[in-house]
Amino acid sequence: MVESEDTTTLIGRKETHGRPYPGLLEKLILVILVVVAVMVGQWMWTESDWSALVLWPATVCGLPLSTLITTEILSRIVQVIHANSD
């Protein structure tokens, strides 16, 4: 459907399109943090002197949760920068 020049909103305001959202940057942050988590996991299993009782929960629960939380924090920072850069 093609909009004509005479088309307005219900309350008659003029709308403009915003800037594109930096979704690619957020995906890049996620991929980088997953790679970092894999490298930390390899270090934990090969070079740390932690017992297996600590390694398993840290690998199965700690690394994914820390990766998710760090990704969310950095993505929120990207969102704030995007919203405030007008």
Whether 12 is covered by a domain: the verdict is: no
Tokens of 14: 């003029």
Q: Please give the tally of structural domains in the chain.
A: 1
Whether 13 is covered by a domain: the verdict is: no
Q: How many CA atoms lie within 13 A of 36 on its CB side?
A: 11
* CA dist list (Å): 66 to 24, 27, 31: 21, 16, 14
Would you state the pLDDT for residue 33?
Answer: 96
Whether 9 is covered by a domain: the verdict is: no
Would you state the pLDDT for residue 11?
Answer: 82
Would you state the pLDDT for residue 54?
Answer: 93
The tens digit of pLDDT for each residue in 33-82 reads: 999 999 999 999 999 999 999 999 999 999 999 999 999 999 999 999 98
pTM of the predicted model as reported, rounded to 2 decimal places? 0.73
Residue 3 phi, psi (nearest 5): -85, 140
**CA separation for the pair 16, 75 (Å, rounded):** 25
Higher model confidence: residue 85 or residue 64?
64
